[in-house]
Structure 1
Amino acid sequence: MSAMPDPVPLIELSEVRKTYNAGLPSEAEVLHGLNLRVMPGEFIALIGPSGSGKSTLLSIVGLLERMSSGTYRFQGEEVQGLDDNGLTMRRRNKLGFVFQFHHLLPAFTALENVTMPALMAEGRVGAAQLARARELLDAVGLAQAMDKRPGQLSGGMQQRVAIARALVMEPPLVLADEPTGNLDTASSDDVFVLLRRMHAERGVSFVVVTHDPRLAARCDRLVELVDGRIARDEATPLAG
């Protein structure tokens, strides 16, 4: 029997650099030749001190910002040559985002907020997307709050809506930037448990930026940035 081919990395960064204000006296390189692979199904904590480049790296991986040099392959496709429309289409269909501040639209219900990515991508919300949004809100424990607006929900509940929204387009990768940073300890633990459950049940890869060492230790892999370089990349002993 022939050997099974190695799986294609979900994300593959090679010698990625990011410079701001290039050619000006204020020029500053914040990422210095990073190499990083994310395989399908991984749950990764991205840690490091403030100013280490975590948010810049997440923005590049999330196709929100272009790198200055290097190679970036997403599911085997080189993305650095794509135009803005190509980046937007892949960002909408292949990536989910959860931020420290949920960025829900206050005038819309929880269900309407979750369906927003489908509306943005396709100009309408079809029956399948609506059914999936309802199923996701049920999965995150908000079946009874679908018609409530963000102002009627607690901070933890609003972040659950944001998680459902991130998953509604069935992306292979979710990027979470301090998703528990604005919550109390109990709500933080609840949201993190939910992220781990969504990962286990749906096979979605997660890259989670966190300053909380308790949560980082419960991820499967820890990547530490220091001064724009990867200082540590290792499996965590307490994953799960």
Structure 2
Amino acid sequence: MTDTVRHPPGPLIEIEGLRKTYNAGLPSEVEVLHGLALRVDAGEFIALMGPSGSGKSTLLNILGLLERMSAGSYRLQGEPVQHLDDTGLTLRRRQSLGFVFQFHHLLPAFSALENVTLPALMADGRVGPRQLARARELLDAVGLAHAMHRRPSELSGGMQQRVAIARALVMSPPLVLADEPTGNLDTASSDEVFGLLRRMHAERGVSFVVVTHDPRLAARCDRLVELVDGKIAHDGPIVA
């Protein structure tokens, strides 16, 4: 089974006036994102960088519909999403987004194959033959066909993260959000996992927004968005 999903060109994400405030109305109130504007188009591979505390993870969580913005507008594939209820947000997240985190969050009692099929199980209550075939195909694509029945404890850190990448892609999302996906790996494994993300982008047309603190990896992206003190300080193509 070969992945032939190709997502149409155009904006995946359009954000205007994004603000995020914690502890609103309390003495400890703090605004961490200050009126951001950001557009992510289909086919992009973006590095999101910035010093600790600049708001990178908060922004990624808002893009991923895991946190709500305090003010502003957010269109995901042309649909306004900022006013959706929790059920609506969950459905949009399942339809449009995949996630890869620094820690793989694989279920230890499940095999690699079972972990990859989890999004399908959560969405439909069952894993059908087509979804199972897709999960197998993705594990083969990330080089783990031989290990699909192993549990996470039987896999190296780099292999576990490759399972997480396959899981992020199993529902054919147009966009994957990755938060320090190589931050828990050694240099060799980091290069391997990042190379896999680039290959998935090239071969499958999936867009990526990748939070990283590593300038060496950011240089392998196509566009850099840099946050400083909750504002976008730079947004432009990577210059070799």
If the TM-score is normalised by the length of the shorter chain, which range does it land in? over 0.9
Q: State whether residues 9 and 43 of structure 2, in contact with CA within 8 Å, keep that contact through their aligned partners in structure 1.
A: no
Corresponding residue for 1:40?
Answer: 42
Secondary structure of 1:232 counterpart: strand
Corresponding residue for 2:237?
Answer: 235
2:223 to 221, 226, 230: 221
Secondary structure of 2:117 counterpart: helix
**Rounded Cα–Cα distance in structure 2 between residues aligned with 1:126 and 1:45:** 35
Secondary structure of 2:134 counterpart: helix
Secondary structure of 1:230 counterpart: strand
**Rounded Cα–Cα distance in structure 2 between residues aligned with 1:79 and 1:94:** 12
Secondary structure of 2:83 counterpart: coil
Secondary structure of 2:190 counterpart: helix
CA drift at 1:92:
1.5
- Structure 1 residue ranges, 4+ long, deviating more than 2 angstroms after superposition: none
How much is the aligned-residue C-alpha RMSD, in angstroms?
1.0
1:61 to 63, 68, 81: 63
Q: State whether residues 8 and 76 of structure 1, in contact with CA within 8 Å, keep that contact through their aligned partners in structure 2.
A: no
Q: Deviations over 1:68-97 (max 9, x none)?
A: 000000001000111110000111121100
CA drift at 1:7:
5.0
Corresponding residue for 1:208?
Answer: 210
1:123 to 119, 122, 125: 125
Corresponding residue for 1:12?
Answer: 14
Counterpart check, 1:105 vs 2:107:
yes
Corresponding residue for 1:95?
Answer: 97
Corresponding residue for 1:28?
Answer: 30
Q: Deviations over 1:52-75 (max 9, x none)?
A: 000000000000000000000000
Q: State whether residues 17 and 34 of structure 1, in contact with CA within 8 Å, keep that contact through their aligned partners in structure 2.
A: yes
**Rounded Cα–Cα distance in structure 2 between residues aligned with 1:100 and 1:81:** 29
Secondary structure of 1:125 counterpart: coil
TM-score w.r.t. the length of structure 2 is 0.96
Identity over aligned residues, as a percent? 82
Corresponding residue for 2:176?
Answer: 174
Q: Which runs of 5+ in 1 are unaligned?
A: 1-5
How many pairs align?
A: 233
Q: Deviations over 1:183-227 (max 9, x none)?
A: 000000000000000000110110000000000011000000000
Q: Deviations over 1:105-127 (max 9, x none)?
A: 00000000000000001100011
Q: Which runs of 5+ in 2 are unaligned?
A: 1-7
Q: Deviations over 1:140-166 (max 9, x none)?
A: 000000000000000000000000000
Matching residue's letter, 1:220: D
Secondary structure of 1:96 counterpart: strand
TM-score w.r.t. the length of structure 1 is 0.96
**Rounded Cα–Cα distance in structure 2 between residues aligned with 1:192 and 1:124:** 31
Corresponding residue for 2:5?
Answer: none
